[in-house]
Amino acid sequence: MKKFFKGLLIFFLVTVCLIAGVLLFCALDRKNALDAVPRDYTVYVHTDNAWSAFNPLLDLQAADVLFSQKEFVQYRQIFNDIKASPIRESRFVQLAAKRKIDFALYQSADGNGNPRQDFAAVVDFSYLSIATRLFPLYAGRLNVPGLTEKEIVLNSKGDTLKYYELNAGENVFYIKPLKNVVILTSSYSLLQTACFGSNSVLYTQEQKKLLKSKGDGNVRIVADARRLAMNITSSNAVLNDMCGLIDKNELSVIFFTITDSEITLKCKVPFYADPENPTSLDQLLAKNSINPKLPGKLGDSVQYYTLINAGSLEELKTALFPFIPKEKDAPAMWKKADGLCNSFLGMSLDELLFSWSGHEFAALGIENQNDPVFAISIKDEAKRQEIFGKITSSMFVNDDNSLIIGGVRLPQLKLPSFLNWVISIFDINIPSPYFLVKDGFIYFSESAESLSSLYTSYEAGKALKANENWRAVSYDQKNDSSVSLFYNLERSIPFFLRGKGLASQVFKLYSMGRLDGRIENNIIELQLHAVAASSGNLRQIPPFPFVLDGKTQAENFCLEDVKNTSVVFWVENKRIVKSLNLKSLESFSVEDSDDVMIESTVRKTDGGVLWSVNSRGAVSLYDETLQLVPGFPVMCGGIPSCRPAATDKYLVILLEGGKIAFINREGGIYTNDDLENCQWKSKPAVCGKFISMYAKGFEGKIYTFSDTSLINEKEPITVDGIGLGSPCVFKNGNKVYTAFITQSGTLGLWCDGKIQQEFPMKLSGMFLNNVCASSKYMYALSSDAVVYRIGLDGSVLSVKIPHATARDAYITANEKGVYVCADANMIYGFNDNLELLNGYPLTGWGYPVFADVNGDKVDDCISLTLDNKISVWNLR
């Protein structure tokens, strides 16, 4: 027994030592991630925990924006598949993904010269790399579709590179386990550079320090500082020119944290003055930022502001004039205005503006006012009074101090044209400003009401710093700043949101924010904190709305009848059939020689998902890429008299003269002529194998087929009155019901051909649409936009859509509710108690369809609009 336990102990110790040795070897035999990331990237991302950093990002609205961009749309389908995948719930995946990861994007071009984004990702598995080092032993047993092992001879010495290639549709990815890391890239050339390069030698010591710096955000991004700055300032010519001073090899580091409700971002850009090539900005950038006083003196009537606290007015003039567009000819305008100022006012322009003004300047937006307020700090009040005294005593400047609003006197100046010339250099136009002096600042505005509101809100103790909105975006900001922007997108759009780039579109998801710029020890730090007005609201999923090339009809819009589908079909200009994969944004089209109608169907082994029939009776069956299924097209043997309907086996076409054609998926045709001379005006209704059709007349008839067999030829359902639209056939439990409403409002409900108790019943109004149903209720829509819910027991509930009519309307129902498009570009959604569903009404027209487009496991609402677009609304 002692020998047994001794042997067991030795075995245990040896096993532990072996495991420890293997783990130690894996930890020490390593490749530096920075060596494996090729240098010429546009953006570099690092995180110490890939799972906690990136898993939450999959569900963000911002991610939808990213993968709607032209450069990234090729990965949209893969992204949505990962987002919806149950693998995200796996604990093993979560453990494996809690690794350091370095990710970089590279600008390239495809074979046609179109821009393309390639990437390289390096995942450091550290001591867990034993699994990746042994990957070649078990890779072939994984049965991953599209994964193959490759081996390339690199040189005459016989050196080889073994890697794995993953074909995922139109995308090819290259995978290489290498020591402690796994390299994943979309480019073979990047794979080679990552495997054999020592890319870290391309960085300076300062850049390496920047790359390894720690921050508050979950993710660290490094980018070309010059390119980043020029992209952000692309809509502002002056700031964009300044960015050209940043060294081409300089890097900036960005830390960010993002959720659907808020985003925080910090960006650091080194800036070093070059003694051999001095610039006009050197003096400003050499000064560390200080704490501005103005925000503490503002009331909560201020909705937005831009504050400059970088230097005196004279210093700003010296620094900025070289960057003002040449067409404004700022130096010449200043010189001319200076001469006129001396002639008319007896002082230089420098004395007029610089002698009393301080170093804080701001533009303020006031609640419920259109005219902004401009603020300037006062460094010498006595000198200001002296200057203003000279101005108002001049015959060339008119003043009026008779206006009193809200208990405060607001003098008004009417400035001479030469002063307005100077002010216009900065795109400011205030020819007759009112002004207010208070607490070391002077405020100017064309609107006396704006100044009065600014004064009274602060005097009432309603300080901006106590405002909930301001505090929401300011709690983590430092006190010191050289530039500060507080914005509300409902009132103002700051310069960095005016572009059409990815960053602008992401930031616009957050309606209120504060951006501060500060300087400390030659480092420019930008800090943004923005919040969404409300999180999770109904919204369009980027990149929708999708603009159509031609006109379409509401009836010719449908969704592929497949579980987890994302393909919609429609017809443009009556003849062009189109499809769009809402996840990948792949689109296909085919043109018919005649007007065409379409109907979706269940996908089977032949791949067919869409029927079409043209006005001559030519029938086609297409797959989702609009390729014809073998055996089509075929002629149905007549002229269609109305829209067709589809079961899982047949396309059902009602023909002129009363015949009915059934076309199966192989192209076979069966024609039923039992009901010749019937007038078919509306589409057949389908419920499983049952097909019902309405023969219009003063005493209309409803006939029902089971597959291709007519089951009530001798005893059809009789409708007492004329109705419009198709019968409604629906299932409740094991019973199949048929419902029909006449124009005058008589509603009948039948089961097995027998009228049900409490029916027929009379509803108030005129009905130009027929009823629709869920499994529990029927729904009807009158022409004066009253929605009725009718139970199988005859109970009635109704609601009126306000300020609407429904003469050319649409109504449809599913188990979640009933959806109504009245005579407008608006869709209302009601639950079965006729209460508005969350987020409705929304912009749309016709019959909405529902599918999970963005992978959040919640169906989104997809609809046409009257201005020929496809909208996709997030219902989360």
Residue 217 reports pLDDT greater than 60 = no
Which tens digit of pLDDT belongs to each residue from 4-18? 777 777 778 877 787
- Count CA atoms closer than 13 A to 162's CA, side-chain side: 7
- Look up the pTM and report it: 0.68
pLDDT, residue 363, reads 92
Q: Tell me the pLDDT band of 280, cut-offs 50, 70 and 90.
A: confident
Q: Where would I find the beta strands (DSSP E) of 521-616?
A: 523-531, 539-540, 546-547, 557-559, 567-572, 576-581, 587-591, 596-600, 610-614
pLDDT for 108 beyond 80:
no
Whether 136 shows a pLDDT value over 90: the answer reads no
If pLDDT is split at 50, 70 and 90, which confidence band does 535 have?
very low
Highest mean pLDDT among 56-60, 315-319, 458-462, 656-660: 656-660
Residues 34, 40: Cα–Cα separation, whole Å: 13
Q: Which pLDDT score, from 0 to 100, does residue 651 have?
A: 96
Cβ within 8 Å of residue 373, ≥6 positions away: 363, 364, 365, 366, 443, 444, 445, 450, 451, 454
Q: For 197, how many CA atoms within 13 A lie in the half-sphere containing its CB? A: 19
Is pLDDT of 559 > 70? Answer: yes
Q: What is the pLDDT of residue 537?
A: 45
- Per-residue DSSP letters for 122-179? EEE-GGGGHHHHTHHHHGGGS--TTEEEEEEE-STT--EEEEEEEEETTEEEEEEEET
What is the edge-to-edge ordering of all strands in the sheet holding 786-791? 772-773, 777-781, 786-791, 796-800
671-705 confidence digits (pLDDT tens): 999 998 899 999 999 999 999 999 988 789 999 99
Residue 618 banded pLDDT, cuts 50, 70, 90: very high
pLDDT at residue number 268: 80
Name the residue among 257, 706, 239 with its Cα closest to residue 494. Answer: 239
Taking only the tens place, the pLDDT of each residue in 622-655 is: 999 999 999 999 999 999 999 999 999 999 999 9
Using CB atoms within 10 Å of the CB of residue 169, give its burial: 0 to 12 exposed, 13 to 18 middle, 19+ buried.
Answer: exposed
Spatial contact of 50 and 97, defined as CB atoms under 8 Å apart: yes
Read off φ and ψ for residue 491, nearest 5 degrees. Answer: -115, -30
Q: Is the pLDDT of residue 130 over 60?
A: yes
Of 84-98, 123-137, 739-753, highest mean pLDDT? 739-753
Most confident range (mean pLDDT) of 333-337, 432-436, 476-480, 789-793 is 789-793
Higher pLDDT, 87 or 876: 87
**pLDDT(216) > 60:** no
**Mean pLDDT in the chain?**
85
Residue 246 binned pLDDT confidence (cut-offs 50, 70, 90):
low
Q: Is the pLDDT of residue 862 over 90?
A: yes
Q: What is the pLDDT of residues 17-39, one digit of tens each?
A: 877 777 777 767 778 877 888 87
What mean pLDDT comes out for the span 330-358? 87
Mean pLDDT value across residues 568-587: 93
Among 807, 826, 812, 831, which residue's Cα sits nearest to residue 866? 826
d(CA 179, CA 30): 6
Q: Dump pLDDT digits (tens) for 349-408.
A: 899 889 999 999 999 999 888 889 999 999 999 999 998 888 878 766 667 777 778 778
The answer to whether 613 and 600 are in contact (CB under 8 A) is no
Please write down the HEC assignment for all residues of 590-646. EECCCCEEEEECECCCCCCCEEEEECCCEEEEECCCCCECCCCCEECCCCECCCCEE
> Between these two residues, 495 and 554, which has the higher pLDDT value?
554
